[in-house]
Structure 1
Amino acid sequence: MNFRRCLMMMVEPIERPRFDLAGVLGGGTGVDFERSLQVRAAHLREPRVIDAASCMWLLQCSAEQWQPLPSDPQARADVLTLLELGLLVSDDPAHAQALAIEQQVRDSHWWPLSALHYQHSRWDGVDSLGDMQRSQLVTAQDLVRSFGAPPAEAPPRREGARALPRCGDDPMQAQLQARATCRNFDTGRALPLPLLARLLQQVLMAQAQVETDPGVRFLKKNVPSAGSLHPLEAYVVVRHVEGLAAGLYHYHAVAHELAPLPTQPGDLPGFCLRLLAGQDWFADAHVLLVLVCRFERSYWKYRGHAKAYRAVTLDAGHVSQALYSAATAQGLGAFVTAAINELEAERAFGLQAMTEGALAVCGLGWRAGAMTTAELDPIGRVWPAPRPPGNGTPQR
């Protein structure tokens, strides 16, 4: 059997405070720190804790050259332990699955720090609303009570600045000011299918395509994308649309069509709530758009590039803003959130981890007639009536 170290990993020294009775009795503060070494790898969902000797041994292993299993019993035991932890991989058939997963990450052309960040920032089973409630960090008043006042909303004005003219009759400005994140949807009123189709056409549909070489095509959409690669796909969760069964769909941007997924969740409302990490104010939207990146499309050009992951997250931002504008023009409310359980989306849509993954969820639909969940609308264009008492401004 031969082995090598995984390619993308980092070692993080961890210190956790603990009560030290002996320290108190000896006249100390009673606070001690427990130290450990935590290793995060791009192909592993969870960090691994190892001791200093194992860490030094691991760092001395090659990530490129295969090494034979050592004959020394202690060294052999160290190798087998690190193999079980997934920090080493081997060519033994017993470890074939682990090797394939690590090799997939090697072949994906991620910049290592981005791969580590993406892998270890994905959520699974997180209830963000429950966490906020347990921590009493729901309203702006809660945040100020716990953290103090936030940094200033704007930097100081600079001397010598020139005042710019304001345009009072700009129709685009009026439309943009009518945009406010929606947290209250009218579940009793269905969204017409032609209206959904129009929004998808405006925001996500490929308006044109160009073939630079046989089989090499680039798309033109109404949103920008790094390298004109457009690696984002939209998986559509339909809740309340006329003439369209509730469920999960994939939107094809070139063909402009919705295809139902072969496997549907038995409890669609429950799936939406889990996907949105407990944010129930978004879960009732008429339509959810899960923005999924095909990383291999982007990293085909930006191989191991330090800015590649940042670029695809910017792509998601472009789509969300275009969706806000298009929905507002049709009298609809919209939202975008990155507080999602990515692994819930991966399981539901059959995504291959680290090759494709969910970046954000957008949603849209008719606004409710009354605001039961607090929203932020400083200029009162959407909700001119008084806010619900006692809720404060929600955390955005």
Structure 2
Amino acid sequence: GVAYTAVDRPYPAGGSMGELELYLSVARCDGLAAGVYHYDAAGHRLRLLDTADADRRALLAGAVAATGGAVEPQVLVTITARFARMAWKYSGIAYATTLKQVGALYQTMYLVATAMGLAPCGLGSGDTALAARAFGTEWTAESSVGEFLLGSRPAGVAAGPHAFADVVRSSRVPARC
């Protein structure tokens, strides 16, 4: 009974609109070739994008810079928002609502990654133009609104709520996240 296709996702979505999209820039991941992927939420699968390797490397380099050079990213998850899906209903609070939903998604990703024994880290920067080019989107319609690193914990670093901080402390370069 709504004027749009409602979605069911494991994180909050205002009105079940599902304006958030996930793109993975993969450097190293067992069972997954290096490349840029789009997460197809309806099919619960990754779709390899035809992206220039230079763009993938630039996205990952931006993540390195965001951590102060402390980590070599294995997987960078870029979150984009399809703004029109929110704006027609939420008008002046659409962007603020989107950012709150990104925060809720970060929390979900932190919880799941930590439970899986991975090293997660939400980033506070990104290159909107580069992301749009790499993902084949028009930045005015779908733009990056968040970035999140996922990686393996180094041997000897215990899993727990501070997994990424432990990874950074075990590295040679001091950083904060």
**TM bin (shorter chain):** 0.7 to 0.9
Q: 1:258 corresponds to which residue?
A: 46
- What is the one-letter code of the residue matched to 1:313? L
Q: 1:278 corresponds to which residue?
A: 65
Normalising by the residue count of structure 2, what TM-score does the alignment of the two structures yield?
0.81
Q: CA RMSD in A?
A: 2.9
Please, which of 122, 127, 133 is the counterpart of residue 347 of structure 1?
133
Name structure 1 gaps, 5 residues minimum: 1-211
Please, which of 322, 325, 339 is the counterpart of residue 108 of structure 2?
322
Query: Given that residues 346 and 358 in structure 1 are in contact (C-alpha distance below 8 angstroms), is that contact kept between their aligned partners in structure 2?
Result: yes
Q: 1:239 corresponds to which residue?
A: 27
- What is the one-letter code of the residue matched to 1:281? A
CA distance change for structure 1 residues 286 and 299 in 2, over 3 Å: closer, same or farther? same
Please, which of 221, 224, 229 is the counterpart of residue 12 of structure 2?
224
Query: Given that residues 251 and 259 in structure 1 are in contact (C-alpha distance below 8 angstroms), is that contact kept between their aligned partners in structure 2?
Result: yes
Q: Distance in 1 between matches of 2:36 and 2:127?
A: 16
Q: 1:53 corresponds to which residue?
A: none
Q: Distance in 2 between matches of 1:388 and 1:271?
A: 21
Q: Distance in 1 between matches of 2:145 and 2:100?
A: 10
CA distance change for structure 1 residues 368 and 233 in 2, over 3 Å: closer, same or farther? same
CA distance change for structure 1 residues 370 and 264 in 2, over 3 Å: closer, same or farther? farther
- What is the one-letter code of the residue matched to 1:349? F
Query: Given that residues 231 and 298 in structure 1 are in contact (C-alpha distance below 8 angstroms), is that contact kept between their aligned partners in structure 2?
Result: yes
Query: Given that residues 265 and 271 in structure 1 are in contact (C-alpha distance below 8 angstroms), is that contact kept between their aligned partners in structure 2?
Result: no
Question: Which structure ranks higher in relative contact order (CA pairs < 8 Å, sequence separation ≥ 6)?
Answer: 2
Which aligned pairs between 1:186-197 and structure 2 lie closer than 5 A? Answer: none
- What is the one-letter code of the residue matched to 2:106? S
SS across alignment from 1:244: coil
Query: Given that residues 128 and 139 in structure 2 are in contact (C-alpha distance below 8 angstroms), is that contact kept between their aligned partners in structure 1?
Result: no
Q: Distance in 1 between matches of 2:145 and 2:94?
A: 14
2:95 paired with 1:306: no
Query: Could you tell me the percent identity over the aligned residues?
Result: 28
Q: Deviation above 6 Å: which 4+ runs of structure 1?
A: 386-390
1:243 Cα offset (Å): 2.5
Q: Distance in 2 between matches of 1:271 and 1:244?
A: 18
- What is the one-letter code of the residue matched to 1:351? T
Q: Distance in 2 between matches of 1:390 and 1:263?
A: 31
Q: Distance in 1 between matches of 2:40 and 2:173?
A: 44
Q: Distance in 2 between matches of 1:351 and 1:297?
A: 15
CA distance change for structure 1 residues 369 and 265 in 2, over 3 Å: closer, same or farther? same
Query: Given that residues 25 and 59 in structure 2 are in contact (C-alpha distance below 8 angstroms), is that contact kept between their aligned partners in structure 1?
Result: no
Q: Distance in 2 between matches of 1:362 and 1:301?
A: 28
SS across alignment from 1:306: helix
Q: Distance in 2 between matches of 1:390 and 1:266?
A: 25
Number of residue pairs matched by the alignment: 169
Q: Distance in 1 between matches of 2:44 and 2:28?
A: 20
SS across alignment from 1:220: coil
CA distance change for structure 1 residues 262 and 269 in 2, over 3 Å: closer, same or farther? closer
SS across alignment from 2:25: strand
Q: Distance in 2 between matches of 1:236 and 1:321?
A: 18
Which aligned pairs between 1:1-396 and structure 2 lie closer than 5 A? Answer: 212=1, 216-266=4-54, 268-274=56-62, 276=63, 278-279=65-66, 280-282=69-71, 284-302=72-90, 305-369=91-155, 377=162, 383=166, 391=174, 394-396=175-177
SS across alignment from 2:11: coil
CA distance change for structure 1 residues 225 and 266 in 2, over 3 Å: closer, same or farther? same
1:289 Cα offset (Å): 0.9
Q: 1:174 corresponds to which residue?
A: none
SS across alignment from 2:111: helix
Query: Given that residues 291 and 360 in structure 1 are in contact (C-alpha distance below 8 angstroms), is that contact kept between their aligned partners in structure 2?
Result: yes
1:272 Cα offset (Å): 1.1
SS across alignment from 1:368: coil
1:254 Cα offset (Å): 0.6
* Structure index of larger Rg: 1
SS across alignment from 1:348: helix
- What is the one-letter code of the residue matched to 2:153? R
- What is the one-letter code of the residue matched to 1:338? G
Name structure 2 gaps, 5 residues minimum: none
